[in-house]
Amino acid sequence: MDITERELIKQAKEGKQDALEQIFRNHIDSAIRLAYLICRNWATAEDAVQEAFLQAFRSLDSFQDDRPFKPWFTKIVVNKAKRTKDRLDRGHVPYENEEPNPHRAYAPEEHALEQEGINALFQAINELDEKHRLPLLLKYVSGLTEAQIAETLSMPASRVKSRLYVARQRLKKYIAILEGGGQNEDI
């Protein structure tokens, strides 16, 4: 944790609203992306992240200053998002996969083939089972190191390393099958 974040946490513990807002803005992007990719519904992802921030802010007193904030907070986000996903799985709220984002600018330079590859890779990621998909999301969306992922998921770093390796291998295999060819190590 850099000195700025350490100072922010200290101020937030003293109840300074500006510090809380800065922490929120520092972490909202990766938190909302992670929550969405876990529950696959924007409304519930927002609810999960909102609950996660509230819980984190209310529990700041128990947070140890010498530890990095992001893995601690990400663990809360993961727990909240998984719980809302469980609700989705029970059929209360529909998934909203594959809906085009209306806020995303149209990019004419994106070739159809390139878009097809992107969709295939995303589909492959979604086909992974949770124990391999979650470490992948924490690495590539939250930007956590393997040690931090291990801390977040309460498992040994060696297991994280192995799951990331297996996940990447499965993605490559899945893509190769989709492309109808053999093993393509480039993708």
Partner 1 sequence: MKTFDEQIEDVLRQKSEWPGSADFLWENISGQIEMKPEKQSFRRRSFWMGAGAVATIFLAFMLYTMLNTPVLPPVVPEEPQLARMQMFSAIMLTEPEVYLPGEQVELILTSHPVDNWNEGQDLSLTIWKDVEAEQSMVSRSTLPHELIRGQDSAFVQSPMDPGLYRLVVEGSFMDGDQRISVFGEKTIRVEGERFDETSEKD
Rounded to the nearest 5 degrees, what angle is found at the Cα of 51, between the Cα atoms of 47 and 53?
Answer: 120
51-80 footprint of partner 1 as x/- string (CB under 8 A): x-xxx-xxx-------------------x-
DSSP letters for the chain: --HHHHHHHHHHHTT-HHHHHHHHHHHHHHHHHHHHHHH--HHHHHHHHHHHHHHHHHTGGGS-TTS-HHHHHHHHHHHHHHHHHHHHHTTSS---TTPPPTTSPP-TTS-HHHHHHHHHHHHHHHHS-HHHHHHHHHHHTS---HHHHHHHHTS-HHHHHHHHHHHHHHHHHHHHHHTTSS--TT-
153-182 footprint of partner 1 as x/- string (CB under 8 A): xxx------------x--xx----------
Q: Does 103 bind partner 1 (CB under 8 A)?
A: yes
Q: Does 144 bind partner 1 (CB under 8 A)?
A: no
1-30 footprint of partner 1 as x/- string (CB under 8 A): -------------xx-x--xx--xx--xx-
Residue among 1, 6, 7, 140 that touches partner 1 (CB under 8 A): 140
Residue 179: CB minimum distance to partner 1, A: 14
Judged by the rule CB under 8 A, the positions of this chain that interact with partner 1 are: 14-15, 17, 20-21, 24-25, 28-29, 32-33, 36-37, 42-44, 46-51, 53-55, 57-59, 79, 82-84, 86-87, 92-93, 101-104, 118, 121-122, 125, 131, 136-137, 140-141, 153-155, 168, 171-172, 186-187
